[in-house]
Structure 1
Amino acid sequence: MAEGWPLPPALVVLLLSMSAWVTDSCPAACSCPKGQDEVHIMDCNKKKLSAAPLDAPDGITQVTLNHNQLTLFPFLGNVSSNITSLLLVHNRISELLMHQLQPYVSLETLDLTSNSISELRVGSFPSMQLKYLNLSNNRISLLEPGCFENISSSLLVLRLNRNRLVALPSKVFKLPNLQLLEMKRNKIKIVDSLTFKGLESLKSLKMQRNGITKLMDGAFFGLNNIEELELEHNNLTEVNKVWLYGLRMLRILQISHNAIGIIRPDAWEFCQKLEEL
């Protein structure tokens, strides 16, 4: 096109619409870059927001609201149903309520690291297809049996590091497709029998730095596919087959920095695939 020629009307409309996407459509406090594979992202990090913007563009599927001042789980208006990833790291959210999460019918990734959540109860989550849930560095001291029921069929990764868990109720982990469970840096002293029954797909369990003193008989029974068990920096005194019972697929066992004084001769009876100790 020669310099100085007028632009065709159709091209003017196209350029204006693109400009609207980049500037006008995005809330003033946020930016809306277009990510890889045409995935639309709304970035509202570090804006001192006490509430989420309600005027998000229709095409948004990923939202980051990290390092703000949210006290309630946010509502993003009509686009909430399209959001697949929601990052809420370093806010002040103190509870999860079913009605607050219900609009997020497409949500797969939820990161609530470094908030003020103290408990998960039945009804904390609605029925949704959540796959990746990070609740690390909160104040969680209570996991009510059934709290994960509505996301049990979809959840693949659950992180509960740096919370205040002292005990793990039986039947709380009925998550048949979960592959990774992390509970590092809690206050769990005793792991009861059958605590993890219901996690038949789990590949990796990480429980470092809890101060665990006792693993009851069959503590890990039901983890038929677990390959990696990390128990470093606890207070275990003995390795025996009663707490290793049934771990036939275990490849990696990390138990350094404990107080182990006894390894029973038959301790490894069930761990014939162990590769790293």
Structure 2
Amino acid sequence: MKLATFRSPLTANHTRVGRVDDDHSATLIGDFADVGELLRQPRWRELAEQASELTVEFQQHTLAPPIPRPGKIICVGLNYAAHIEEMGHDRPDVPTLFIKYPEALIGPFDDAQVPPIAQASADYEGELAVIVAKRTRNATPDQAADSIAGFSVINDFTARELQYRTKQWHQGKSLEHTSGFGPWLVTPDDMPDQARLRTVVNGEQRQDAPLSDLVFTPADLVSFCSQLYTLNPGDVIATGTPAGVGHGLGTYLSHNDVVEISVDGIGRIRNRVVFGA
């Protein structure tokens, strides 16, 4: 099952959540504003599966981030074995975490607005996003698997010069209006066993890796984060990026570049890079 958040003009100047029936139509689910609000309902899956009252047509530009303002966006660094080698680091014993703020998110087909401070070293990081289904605290990995509502695609957009100015990465990782997120949430039962993540820049493939290359699995990450703080419905964990980032290749993004990130079983996001004042 796919769950998406739609914006105006489809929904008269406010967002609504719907079950995606095909590439161009969806069934709206109650009066919930977004996927996060739906997930806060104990019977969210039943409500989504049984919705049948209003079917609407949609276009790419009407898709908002599935969770427009997550309570938490927890990002994981150095979590693909090949990327760890590419960046010259040792394989970690525990996940490397940093935080991204909701203001960084844009829709799956929106332009990424890059400010001057980040334009010299703008970079992409295609990632699988995990979306939390329920309140979770101190979960084992087995328990954590039941706390996953589904998966999406996210670009952990990064300004490398800012990232490496200090030992804390956050300042290069949470620029407003830069991180494409979507196109929707896909429940775990609809994910293929051997899914791959791919990133293409201006038609050139840069990243291509199996999700099985993750050092820490989605359940591992939910479990680990839940030892630190309570996870709530709609919280997002960006699981890390594979090899092939611009920094590792020695090339950065330029004005009007187009970054497309896809994950098998989910779909793709496509964001144009716009350098602004």
For the aligned pair, the TM-score class normalised by the smaller chain equals under 0.3
Greater helix fraction, Structure 1 or Structure 2:
2
Q: Normalising to structure 2: TM-score of the pair?
A: 0.24
Q: Normalising to structure 1: TM-score of the pair?
A: 0.24
Report 1 or 2 for greater relative contact order, CA contacts < 8 Å, sequence distance ≥ 6. Answer: 2
Greater strand fraction, Structure 1 or Structure 2:
2
Which protein shows a greater Rg?
A: 1
